[in-house]
Structure formats: C-alpha cells, structure tokens
A = this chain, B = another copy of it.
C-alpha cells in the first residue's frame, strides 16, 4: 500500500480493526522508508540483517523461519544483501546443503547505524501515544501475535 493519502475517513472505516491495522502499518512503512533511505536498505532487509547478526551464524532456512518468510523469498533477500556486500554466504562444513550467512564488517556497521535510526523513527511514530502507553501498545501487539489459538 502506498495510497494512504486521504485522511477523510468516515466512521465505518475507523471502526474497523482491519482498516486501522492496515493503514497504520502503511503509514509506518512510509516513515520507515524515509528513515532508512540514507542507508540503502529497506525495513525488511534491515530485519534480515538483525536476525542474521543476532548471535551465532544461522542458515538461510533458519533465518527464513525466524522471519516468517518463505525460503524462496529468503534467497532473493540474501541475494540483495550479498550484492551490496553486507552479508556473505558460505557453505556449512557440517552439512554442505546449507548456506551459513554471516554479516560482513560493512554489514555489522550498517546494522548498528540503521538500527539506531529505526529506533528513533519508531519512538517518534509512537509519540502521539505518550511514553507509557507506547510501551503498552507494543505489549498488546506482542500479545496478539503470541496467541496461538490460530
């Protein structure tokens, strides 16, 4: 979505959880794109970097699992990051079917700086809620995601 221009929303819409969630998400995506533009990565790519740089090196499939993306999607994401010199694939020595994906020095550096920018952006985005309630909001989102009744 990039068509979140009009704010002339009638009540039938601002009553709908689906509408609200979708448009708040679109709005954040805009802000995120703006904030990350200087770093040349998208929010998704930054999330991939964050997962890959978390602690021990992991395989593409493991990363895909954490991110909740398909393994074919993961190929394209890692392709892009590798082309930009932010990560490196190497064949696992324990299981040569697997790619272990590690951050390069450039990747580590960009991760740190871009994560700072992202955190600032998110804080600003949530500012209308006030500090304590921003925390509450994040907790609520985590709760809704964790509820595995599916």
Q: A residues near B, CB below 8 A?
A: 3-10, 12-14, 16-25, 27-30, 32, 43, 47, 50-51, 54, 65-70, 73, 118, 122, 125-126, 128-129, 133, 136-138, 140-148, 150
Contacts and interface: CB of A to CB of B under 8 A. Distances in A.
Given A18-B32, A68-B5, A144 B24 contact: yes
A33 to B, nearest CB: 11
A80 B66 CA distance: 37
B148 A7 contact: yes
Contacts of A136: 136
A13 B51 CA distance: 8
Given A13-B67, A17-B125, A138-B17, A145 B6 contact: no
Given A4-B68, A50-B12, A50-B13, A24 B125 contact: no
